Structure 1
Amino acid sequence: MALTGKLSFETVIRSPAAKFFNLMARQLHHLQNICERIHAAKLQVGNDWDSVGGSVKHWTYIIDGKVVTCNETIDIIDEQKYLVIYNLFDGDISKNYKVFKLAFQVSDNSNNSGTLVTWSVEYEKINNDVEAPYGYMEYLDKSTKEIDAYLLKA
């Protein structure tokens, strides 16, 4: 069994791509007030929530029915491609994974039926006994729907 892997999925939302991207790239601190499974988010290092590589955020959230924590930095914000890559580390995430990269990209759906959101998780498990992070995919799907509902009201 491989220690490294990648999981991904696509979903369609009704919010404009630019609006979803802006929230996820520039306003992460709002997620704790939008998503039911995010219990807390704190800026641990740095002065802003959206600097690439410079700020460290501490997250407390629920995966597979369990409260977990991690730290996060932003590796890439690509304004042209509407792409953000986050690096998750320390806390509970490091108990199972040496590497955990979470990426999303949004684009206007070609048939004018909303916005396409693509999520992917690239990971390296600490050993073969660790399961692939399927719970994160379910968490991201639910959170995406909550964010979409919030943005449609705003």
Structure 2
Amino acid sequence: MAELPCKLIAQVAFKAGGDVFHHLLTQRPFHLAKATPGKVQACDVHQGKFGTNGSVIEWKYTLDGKAQTARQVLQDIDESKKQSAYKMIGGDLLELYKNMLITIHVETKQGVDYVTWTIDYELLSPENPHPLSLVNFFIEFTKEVENHIFG
């Protein structure tokens, strides 16, 4: 029986400027280790360069108290929409999920900037948990980046 794809979405108001968040995430993600050291320890480019479609980047981060890695291909960068997507190609999350795609979109509604995280994924096994802790990680991460900018 084929698994149905799943989707989780979180939206966070971001008072520090959505343009800044989008720029940090696509062009300078290595700076996020300084902004959120308890969550992100490193972000390195393995192929291509930051901010370029098709580039391969690897994150070292802490999720649920455990050191983890995620290798991703950066794709669908759209500066006008302030949107980017990261397709998971390696790392700890692929032990639980397949075809994981994380999309980050920054938009302004009624004068307020919002960061929307969308996780599209399939469970490798029906017993595996849905990545709710990853959604919570992204919410906390967004708030920590905001606090770092306002510092």
TM-score under structure 2 normalisation?
0.90
Distance in 1 of aligned mates of 2:97 and 2:87: 12
How much has 1:151 moved relative to structure 2? 2.2
In structure 2, what is the Cα distance between the partners aligned to 1:51 and 1:109?
27
Counterpart secondary structure, 1:81 = coil
What residue in structure 1 maps to residue 99 of structure 2? Answer: 99
Q: Residue 52 of structure 2 aligns to which amino acid in structure 1?
A: S
Q: List aligned pairs for 1:3-14, cutoff 5 A.
A: 3-14=4-15
**Partner of 1:70: helix, strand, or coil?**
strand
Which of 43, 49, 52 pairs up with 1:41? 43
Q: CA deviation at 1:89?
A: 2.3
Question: Within 5 Å, which residues of 2 pair with 1:1-154?
Answer: 2-35=3-36, 36-46=38-48, 48-53=49-54, 55-110=55-110, 112=111, 114-153=112-151
Q: 1:63 deviation in Å?
A: 1.5
RMSD: 1.7
User: Cα distance, 1:59 vs. partner?
Assistant: 1.3
Q: Distance in 2 between matches of 1:3 and 1:31?
A: 33
What one-letter code is carried by the residue in structure 2 that aligns with 1:78?
D
Runs (5+) with no aligned partner, structure 2: none
Q: Distance in 2 between matches of 1:116 and 1:41?
A: 24
Distance 2:43 2:82 in 1: 23
Unaligned runs of 5+ in 1: none
Separation (CA, whole Å) in 2 of partners of 1:142 and 1:57:
22
Answer yes or no: is the 8 Å Cα contact 2:57–2:74 preserved in 1.
no
Residue identity over aligned pairs, in percent, reads 25
Q: CA deviation at 1:149?
A: 1.5
Indicate if the aligned counterparts of 1:44 and 1:57 stay in contact, CA closer than 8 A: yes
Query: Residue 3 of structure 1: CA displacement?
Result: 4.8
Separation of aligned partners in 1, 2:79 and 2:150: 22
Q: Is the 8 Å Cα contact of residues 96 and 124 (structure 2) preserved in structure 1?
A: yes
Preserved contact between residue 3 and residue 128 of structure 1 (Cα < 8 Å): no
Q: Secondary structure at the match of 1:118?
A: strand
Question: How big is each residue's C-alpha offset from its partner over 1:86-123, in whole Å with a ceiling of 9 and x where there is no partner?
Answer: 1122121221111111111111231x3x3111111000
- Count of aligned residue pairs for this structure pair: 149
